[in-house]
Amino acid sequence: MITLAQLRLLIEGSFSPLACECSITGEHWLTVKLYHPVSGQVDLVVSGLNMSTLQTAESVASLIEELRYELQCNSLQRPDPVM
């Protein structure tokens, strides 16, 4: 079982230089917020991720790829993307 701390380290390491906040709401729902560490500008917030589906390295890697895709789609609409 992957803990929230481990999950956060994996996600943060994948999106540097962006900052990351991972929090659990309720019993099993994860929210991931990626933002610029200096300006605080939020680049992506994803809520409602089921923690029970993030118990393997493969499932976490899949989540990271999905978040990268979403972040890239959001960055295309900004004139100065961070990544």
Tokens 């962006």 identify what position? 18
Beta bridge partners of residue 56, listed in sequence order: none
CA distances from 51 to 16, 29, 78 (A): 22, 6, 30
What's the pTM?
Answer: 0.81
Segment 69-81, tens digit of pLDDT:
999 887 655 555 4
Segment 13-56, tens digit of pLDDT:
899 899 999 988 887 899 999 999 999 999 999 999 998 899 88
Q: Name, in order, each residue with C-beta under 8 angstroms of 6's C-beta and a sequence gap of 6 or more.
A: none
Helical segments of the chain, H only:
4-15, 57-75
The dihedrals phi and psi of 33, each to the nearest 5 degrees, come to -125, 125
